[in-house]
Structure 1
Amino acid sequence: MTSLYYDCFAGISGDMNLGALLDLGVEAAVLRKGLDRLAVEGFELRIAPDRRGGIAGTRVEVVVTADTASPTRSPAAVRDLIGRSGLGRRVEAFSLRVFERLAAAEAKVHSIPIEAVYFHEVGAIDALVDVVGAAIGLEQLGWPSVIGSVVELGSGCVDCAHGRLPVPAPATLELLQGVPTRRGGVPFEATTPTGAAILTTAAERFEAQGDMVPQRVGYGIGRRDGPLPNVLRLVVTAPDPGRREELRLLECNIDDMSPEFYPHLLDRLLTGGAKDAWIAPLVMKKGRPGILVSVLCEGCYEPTLTRLLFAETTTLGVRRGAVSRTALERTVRSLATPFGPVPVKVAVRPDGSRQTKPEYEVCRSIALERDLPLREVYRELERLLEENDGT
């Protein structure tokens, strides 16, 4: 599995995203065929080369025919429309999640129940095309691991169904909670609610552009002119085998300390800054059984952890040395379950496959609170993870 970097230096909208995906190599014929399965009439998808600020890319425009009104739709109507499309589990699941996020944002902004939301701009034909088209494009790319950049919001005001509002629109800001943003780069709305919903549904994390090995670059051309080229840049990068870290290893041998003290020692080391700490049995001089205490840490924690080893153990000396390790990229995401939200660790292996694992302590708490066997809790969470894989 490759990675896909969303470089939103000039914001993101649904049509810019479609253009960038097509510019990367997503086949227009496959996109059109998939959108036909929505059974939505009255629009034309225009795809053409274009440029902004000297940057060439692909422009996508959803043109609604003059004799077709753009209807409002409830969340239930959108779910029914996408559910009947037969586009496939992953495409349908991603599309529904985008609209669920949009509905939740609108509901919070207006303080109404989610099912009372009636989409205006975001529920119209163009947004359906943008959202479902994004899912079709990501599937053609093999559902890459998506990383988002800092997101440009723009400035000024935007006219919408609720009147004239300052940029960013309230729903956009709601969708981008926890996402690094900046504003003022362009004198117009740079990121739309649809663009924000697509991005935050797809992205596993957000970070400034770091080291990467670009393989392909695509540009989605927007409709505006400004001080920044109105384009969305997508970068396909080679799989990352892992992040190399330079760390310190502290060790000591102990043969005269009560075993009762070791759990306390490990807790103190881990809360004191250690990346990892462990003990292992060994045979010391004169054949005496002993314990090897090992601590892995960043250099800045070495003095503190050394003092902890002397304070909490009977050792008379601590060995230290430099070590390198390659660590897989890891994130924590929240999984919606019948037990409530459960944090899940997600690691990306060198071949691009993902390794997921629910947090043990949370699973144990659920098992105790509900009087369930721990293995049943894990089994249910693994089933949910499998259903949500790739979406």
Structure 2
Amino acid sequence: MRVLYYDCFCGISGDMNLGALIDLGVDKNYIIKELLKLNLSSEYEIEVKKGIKKGITGTKVDVILKNQQDHHNNIEETHHHGHTHGEALVHNHSEDAAYSNQKLEEHHHHNHEDKIGPDGEAALSYSHADNLEHNHGETHHKSHHHQHRNLKDIENIIKGSTLNENVKEMSLHMFIKVAEAEALVHGKSLQEVHFHEVGATDSIVDIVGAAIALDYLKVDKIMASTVQVGGGFVKCAHGVMPVPAPATVNILKHIPMKTGIVPFETTTPTGAAILAANVKEFTDNMDFVIEKTGYGLGTRELDIPNVLRVYLGNLKGKDEDIEEQYLLETNIDDMNPELYEYVEGKLFNSGALDVFKTPIIMKKGRPAIKLSVLVSQKRENQVLDVVFKETTSIGIRKFKVEKTMLNREFSKLKTRYGEVTIKNSYYEGKLVKYKAEYEDCKRLAEENNVPIREIYRSIDKVIDEG
């Protein structure tokens, strides 16, 4: 079983996550190309470069917004206006003016770094004002004319893109995590929450970029260590608050945390959302064989390495993975059938593992639909919210079930039409079946203008001959 493990000994932020996954081996050009599908490329550039923190070499990622104000105005507003964590994904603003001036001075002497534009080409121009850095990890360049997008705006951007369905689903799941946290802080509904920082382009790139990278890796399981959140105080909508800030606390609910390694915020709401939405198990026991290691670099110079470390490895053991889940069921005979597609999308975005419908006959001969939802205990409440708010159901049946899954490994296969991802399944140590990823087959069929069944035949031919 292929495992991705987040070692969050110095926390996690959105840009540190991208840096770590690229350092691990995710193709940066692939991420940049896929992000073009959001149709936001006129608003940003992506800078990827190697660097060192306390002797550790890693990758630094910055999302550069193109509509920046004069950097002096940015400094003034950063330290006298101050954003709030209550306004979603706000970065650490305990940076003092001396630190910002120091960073600006550093950028006067680093004006020849390679910058990659959203089209994948190198952008030659580079200004010290492009790198006004705000926190330990997320060094993006915030325009103070933020686009105040709400959850519906984010959904429209992602669903209106040509990203594959898995990336869309993962991206929306992470945004919903943030929306739920902000709604709880402010006592509002999900749709009433207006994102400020999270609605900014760089935060969208962080979250969707994370989904693209995780989809690229195609691991069987994502794990993480106890999450270090830092210490000290940050400015929030409620005044000066101790770290972790309210939004981060809400996102990390039921997730093990550590505090106080440094007097700064080390885990941002973006980073917290990436973990909360994707990690299957939090443990400090690394019981797997390490294949690769990657480091994503933060901004601050600390007494400890300011990096996010990730591992790619194989979890050795039996071939069947048994996981406890819940099956939720409800019989519905009085709902417009057109609404089921909408409800299914909401259920998947809320964390449902599977959704299916069964035609049934209820009392007095009434035709109906049995709506069944497979979900983990962690996501149960979010799924229940959707069922009760979006359908006519007034009751749910709940069953504990065990899901047994074969050990799976992903590999790349070259065919005459292009490269596809193959999922191999093993039982008792032997390969018993394989399946080509549908999205890859669909893409190759469209690119080569051939029937999709021809793509599948070419895959079988390569495997049979190999």
TM-score bucket (shorter structure): 0.5 to 0.7
**Conserved 8 A contact 1:220-1:233:** yes
CA distance in 2 between counterparts of 1:125 and 1:58 reads 21
Give the aligned partner of residue 169 of structure 2.
93
**TM-score of the aligned structures, taking structure 1 as reference length:** 0.65
Cα gap change, 1:330 to 1:118, in 2 (>3 Å): same
Give the aligned partner of residue 200 of structure 2.
124
The answer to whether residue 46 in structure 2 is matched with residue 45 in structure 1 is: yes
**Conserved 8 A contact 2:220-2:408:** no
> Residue 167 of structure 1: which of 233, 237, 243 is its match?
243
Give the aligned partner of residue 18 of structure 1.
18
Give the deviation of 1:39 after TM superposition: 1.1
Give the aligned partner of residue 2 of structure 1.
2
The answer to whether residue 160 in structure 2 is matched with residue 84 in structure 1 is: yes
The AA in structure 1 aligned to 2:407 is P
Give the aligned partner of residue 110 of structure 1.
186
The AA in structure 1 aligned to 2:408 is D
Give the aligned partner of residue 353 of structure 2.
none
Cα gap change, 1:21 to 1:150, in 2 (>3 Å): same
Give the aligned partner of residue 238 of structure 1.
314
Deviations 1:93-115 (A, max 9, x none): 00001001110110011111111
Give the deviation of 1:169 after TM superposition: 1.2
CA distance in 1 between counterparts of 2:272 and 2:60 reads 19
Give runs of aligned pairs for residues 104-253 of structure 1, distance below 5 A: 104-159=180-235, 164-242=240-318
**Conserved 8 A contact 1:97-1:201:** yes
CA distance in 2 between counterparts of 1:48 and 1:141 reads 21
**TM-score of the aligned structures, taking structure 2 as reference length:** 0.55
Give the deviation of 1:224 after TM superposition: 1.3
**Conserved 8 A contact 1:241-1:349:** no
Give the aligned partner of residue 63 of structure 1.
64
The AA in structure 2 aligned to 1:57 is G
Cα gap change, 1:197 to 1:138, in 2 (>3 Å): same
Cα gap change, 1:106 to 1:158, in 2 (>3 Å): same
**Conserved 8 A contact 2:288-2:315:** no
Give runs of aligned pairs for residues 270-349 of structure 1, distance below 5 A: 328=321, 330-332=323-325, 333-334=376-377, 336=383, 338=387, 339=396, 345-349=402-406
CA distance in 2 between counterparts of 1:61 and 1:343 reads 44
Cα gap change, 1:239 to 1:212, in 2 (>3 Å): closer
**Conserved 8 A contact 2:7-2:309:** yes
User: SS where residue 173 of structure 2 aligns?
Assistant: helix
CA distance in 1 between counterparts of 2:203 and 2:225 reads 23
Give the deviation of 1:72 after TM superposition: 1.5
Gaps spanning 5+ residues in structure 2: where? 70-142, 326-375, 388-395, 410-422, 426-466
User: SS where residue 118 of structure 1 aligns?
Assistant: coil
Cα gap change, 1:27 to 1:344, in 2 (>3 Å): farther
Cα gap change, 1:18 to 1:344, in 2 (>3 Å): farther
The AA in structure 2 aligned to 1:330 is E
User: SS where residue 233 of structure 1 aligns?
Assistant: strand
Cα gap change, 1:346 to 1:3, in 2 (>3 Å): farther
User: SS where residue 38 of structure 2 aligns?
Assistant: coil
CA distance in 2 between counterparts of 1:211 and 1:7 reads 13
Give the aligned partner of residue 32 of structure 2.
32
Give the deviation of 1:341 after TM superposition: 7.3
Cα gap change, 1:38 to 1:228, in 2 (>3 Å): same
The number of residue pairs the alignment matches comes to 272
Q: CA RMSD in A?
A: 2.4
CA distance in 2 between counterparts of 1:231 and 1:135 reads 20
Cα gap change, 1:107 to 1:344, in 2 (>3 Å): farther
**Conserved 8 A contact 1:16-1:231:** yes
CA distance in 1 between counterparts of 2:38 and 2:280 reads 27
The AA in structure 2 aligned to 1:39 is N
**Conserved 8 A contact 1:240-1:350:** no
User: SS where residue 408 of structure 2 aligns?
Assistant: coil
The AA in structure 2 aligned to 1:350 is N
CA distance in 2 between counterparts of 1:124 and 1:75 reads 12
CA distance in 1 between counterparts of 2:27 and 2:398 reads 37
The AA in structure 2 aligned to 1:2 is R
Structure 1 stretches (4+) deviating beyond 6 angstroms?
none
Cα gap change, 1:346 to 1:23, in 2 (>3 Å): farther
CA distance in 2 between counterparts of 1:84 and 1:160 reads 33
Cα gap change, 1:77 to 1:57, in 2 (>3 Å): same
Give the deviation of 1:12 after TM superposition: 0.4
Give the deviation of 1:36 after TM superposition: 1.1
CA distance in 1 between counterparts of 2:204 and 2:7 reads 23
Flag the structure with larger Rg: 1
Give the deviation of 1:212 after TM superposition: 1.6
User: SS where residue 178 of structure 1 aligns?
Assistant: coil
**Conserved 8 A contact 1:221-1:231:** yes
CA distance in 1 between counterparts of 2:230 and 2:203 reads 20
Give the aligned partner of residue 408 of structure 2.
351
Deviations 1:94-143 (A, max 9, x none): 00010011101100111111111011122211110110000100111014
Cα gap change, 1:114 to 1:234, in 2 (>3 Å): same
**Conserved 8 A contact 1:18-1:60:** yes
Deviations 1:313-372 (A, max 9, x none): xxxxxxxxxxxxx974535423526448765544453335899xxxxxxxxxxxxxxxxx
**Conserved 8 A contact 1:241-1:350:** no
Cα gap change, 1:349 to 1:120, in 2 (>3 Å): same
The AA in structure 2 aligned to 1:156 is G
CA distance in 2 between counterparts of 1:162 and 1:47 reads 35
Give the aligned partner of residue 361 of structure 1.
none
The AA in structure 2 aligned to 1:49 is K
CA distance in 2 between counterparts of 1:14 and 1:82 reads 18
Give the aligned partner of residue 284 of structure 1.
none
